[in-house]
Structure 1
Amino acid sequence: MKKILMLNTLPLINFEDTGDDSKTAGNQTLYNTLKGYSDHGIQVTMLTFADVPKVNEAFPGVIVRRSSFFLLYAIMSKMKKLISDLIKNRERQTRQRPKTEIDRRGASLFALFWRRWAYREGLRLARELEPDLIYGYEIYSTIPAKRLADQLGLPLVTRFQGTELGLLLDSEQFYQATDYLKGTAVDADLIIMANDGTDGDKVLQKLGLDENKVRFWPNGLHNKEKYLHYKKNPDYKKQLKLPEESFVICTANRFVDWKRIDRIIRVMAELNRFNPDVYLLAIGDGPEKEALEKLAQSLNLDTVIFTGVMEHEDTVHHIANADLFITLNQSGNLGNSILEALALGTVTCTLKNDSVEKVLTDGINAILFDQMDEKRIAQRLAEVIKDEKTLQSLRNNAREYAADHLLSWPERMEMEIKEIRKLMN
């Protein structure tokens, strides 16, 4: 059996168990990646200091080992949280609006500790496991993974779920995001970057990485066949206690600065001038939630419903039954939820960039805009809402595109496993 040693800093939120009743909120990409390796009989040992499952074998052959760095990290996190809470409490009293300025400098002290700790602990673990390949998952783990691979003479894979450097691609701040730059610019035998609309291919090109080693792939769908045949609930609006003639727009995201949920709320304010029966279902949570709620109140919007965070399957239920799914992120407008909306036959609306236009086409399978303009977006949506023929065409084309072109996670992992086996052999 081939063996992989993976370094990772992301939490394993949805790995409580592997049965049908397992939790589905959390990192679908990491979950399906590990499951894919398990399904193909490749043993993965993951070294992480983050949340770990109660049972350390997340899937057959996938072992999660919590790093001893966890104790130091826990202390550092508590100190950081105390300081952060003090700052947030002050901000809550003064800040009425969501953040709109994006700053990405990283967590240098944390990165410095983890790089050294992960390398030393990984080296001890590698001597025990004798892996065939080293895998660095996301920016804080690629550098220690590179050191391990070089030391042991093993092939290296780096993996990115997208990149926040895409936010700064045309900004002077790009080269100031030190931790992001260092972690992304690592030379590896295989570099896997998700096409989630964050312009990861352009970022890697700007950093001078060999494009022959890069695989710029979209994520897979968690349950493609189920989504393609998902039946809408005829009582959905009634269950939400909304008027039957209402039009429901859904967004599902983490409420952080660069996701720009504030843009959607402002679009709603404009849209309600044209049609007061349009409602927004905002699924998610995060540091910007309170400011977003205040923004909705200041705009006298009683048509915005904040649901809080949900299990993945509950989120899918709302995306499937909504009349339109919208995301207006600063970057990353081709995330999992957009792909799910396509397969579910829900009309999607977002902003254009080169990555997005590899999948979405304006007026064919989505509603796209060149730039952020709340009034223009609201005006066009108001027109489309009244045009059932256009809406039905967008729904049909979205599902047809998903059926023909989008990957299921097993299909997506098949592509990765094929490349991995080449390196290990």
Structure 2
Amino acid sequence: MKKIILISGIIGPIVGSNQSFTNTINGYLKRNYKVYHFAFFNKNNKKYDIEKLLKNKNYKFYGISKIFRIKNKNKKNVNFITLPKSNEIIIPESEINYKQKLFYYFYNIFETLRILFFIPFIKPDLIYSYEVFSVIPGYIISKIINKPLIKRFQGTFINKNNIESKKINFHKKAYKKDCLLNVMANDGTKGDIVLKKLGFKEEKILFLLNGLDERMKNKLNKNNINKLKLNLNLKDKDIVLGIFNRFYPFKRVDRAFYLINELKKFINNPYLLVGGLGGPMEMPIKKYVVDNDLEENVKFLGQIKYENMKSYYECCDIVLILNDYANTGNQIIETSYLGKETIAINDENNSKYLNYDNIHYINPHNFLEDSVNQVINIYKKR
């Protein structure tokens, strides 16, 4: 049996998302690998779902103590974040801060030393670095023990306009490190172009769209869907929109609220379901709801388990995918497969690969007018 060391830092199988991570591990387990997973979170952290993985005898988890968990003491400050305008473009570089840089250097040392301690006992055949923070430890270990390194990225913060930016220099260092193979998700961020600009040839780049999770193919019980609609109080709603994302700036969840507020002028009872993990935009968005009397038009669902996502899609007349960046992800693949009416910001990549009648692409510079028109057109056709 071959052995692989997978290094992931704070990346892991987050509840309600990131099934690509779990599928990566399962892929190696099915191919008769023993997976030694080194991560910077505790196995009991409720943010992550590794319970099923832990039941597999060939999966070994090396996490951290609970004492390392950092609580956000400045939570109140997010009330003062100003929401962007609907047609404003937010780039992900704006989310990089000095804390991330400090963690990058700390984690490089911490994880390298920790893995070196376990190397004589594991004797791996392959090193797999999942995302930016894990590349340097993986690279150093692979060189010391002379074993191949695979790097896996879910997209990139680097683009042609910021490739020399000092703010993302530690990302650039990770992308540049040599390896056997770069696995880069085709999520709309054009990571293949970035890797080629940094010197990698085609044979060292695996550039793929995310796959469709098997759970999306499961048949749903109509009675259960009707019960869910009843629980969500959707019976008297004229149209139901859904957005399922984290409350982070470039995810642009705020646009859904501008849209529902505008739709009230044209449709009697529009409704918005909002599901996903929290983030710095959550409190200002909730304030916007109160300030604009949208309490009767919005329901915050909180975190949703992935196995329930198909049911929530079925409750929506339209799914919204409004990121400014990385818009060719799991959700648009899922709604394409399900034939669910979807309004998505055009990142010039998703419209190229996923050109279906149920996906309606919107120019972010004219978001509000175009999205209102699309919703009204869909509403009239029902």
Instruction: Give the TM-score category using the shorter length.
Output: 0.7 to 0.9
Are residues 45 and 90 of structure 1, via their aligned partners in 2, closer, same or farther at CA, if it must alter by over 3 Å?
Answer: closer
Aligned counterparts of 1:172 and 1:192: Cα–Cα separation in 2 = 19
Q: Residues 26-425 of structure 1 correspond to what in structure 2 (within 5 A)?
A: 26-52=17-43, 57-66=54-63, 70=64, 74-75=67-68, 77-78=69-70, 81=71, 84-86=72-74, 88-92=75-79, 94-95=80-81, 97=83, 102=92, 103-105=94-96, 107-165=100-158, 169-171=160-162, 174-223=165-214, 226-227=217-218, 229-230=219-220, 233-234=225-226, 237-244=229-236, 246-287=238-279, 288-301=281-294, 302-361=296-355, 364-372=357-365, 373-388=367-382
The one-letter code matched in structure 2 to 1:89 is K
Q: What is the aligned partner in structure 1 of residue 3 from structure 2?
A: 3
Q: Confirm or deny: 8 A CA contact 1:351 1:370 kept in the other structure.
A: yes
Q: Confirm or deny: 8 A CA contact 1:34 1:59 kept in the other structure.
A: no
Q: Confirm or deny: 8 A CA contact 2:244 2:276 kept in the other structure.
A: yes
Aligned counterparts of 1:173 and 1:325: Cα–Cα separation in 2 = 36
User: What is the DSSP-based 3-state SS (H/G/I as helix, E as strand, rest coil) of the residue aligned with 1:113?
Assistant: helix
Aligned counterparts of 2:109 and 2:118: Cα–Cα separation in 1 = 14
Higher deviation after alignment, 243-252 or 325-334: 243-252
Aligned counterparts of 1:305 and 1:153: Cα–Cα separation in 2 = 53
Are residues 172 and 187 of structure 1, via their aligned partners in 2, closer, same or farther at CA, if it must alter by over 3 Å?
Answer: closer
The share of aligned pairs that are identical, in percent, is: 28
Q: Confirm or deny: 8 A CA contact 1:159 1:191 kept in the other structure.
A: yes
User: What is the DSSP-based 3-state SS (H/G/I as helix, E as strand, rest coil) of the residue aligned with 1:295?
Assistant: helix
User: What is the DSSP-based 3-state SS (H/G/I as helix, E as strand, rest coil) of the residue aligned with 1:25?
Assistant: coil
Q: CA RMSD in A?
A: 2.7
Count of residue correspondences: 364
> What is the CA-CA distance between 1:6 and the residue it aligns to?
1.5
> What is the CA-CA distance between 1:5 and the residue it aligns to?
1.4
The one-letter code matched in structure 1 to 2:20 is T
Aligned counterparts of 1:383 and 1:55: Cα–Cα separation in 2 = 44
Q: Confirm or deny: 8 A CA contact 2:6 2:130 kept in the other structure.
A: yes
Are residues 59 and 194 of structure 1, via their aligned partners in 2, closer, same or farther at CA, if it must alter by over 3 Å?
Answer: farther
The one-letter code matched in structure 1 to 2:6 is M
> What is the CA-CA distance between 1:236 and the residue it aligns to?
5.2
> What is the CA-CA distance between 1:64 and the residue it aligns to?
1.1
> What is the CA-CA distance between 1:210 and the residue it aligns to?
2.5
Could you report, residue by residue, the CA deviation over 1:208-247 in whole angstroms, capped at 9, with x for unpaired residues?
A: 33232111112222225624x4465356544422344621
Q: What is the aligned partner in structure 2 of residue 420 from structure 1?
A: none
Aligned counterparts of 1:294 and 1:271: Cα–Cα separation in 2 = 19
Could you report, residue by residue, the CA deviation over 1:29-58 in whole angstroms, capped at 9, with x for unpaired residues?
A: 211111111112111111223122579845
Aligned counterparts of 2:25 and 2:91: Cα–Cα separation in 1 = 35
Where in structure 2 are there 5+ consecutive unaligned residues?
44-49
Aligned counterparts of 1:343 and 1:48: Cα–Cα separation in 2 = 33
Q: What is the aligned partner in structure 2 of residue 416 from structure 1?
A: none
Aligned counterparts of 1:382 and 1:187: Cα–Cα separation in 2 = 51
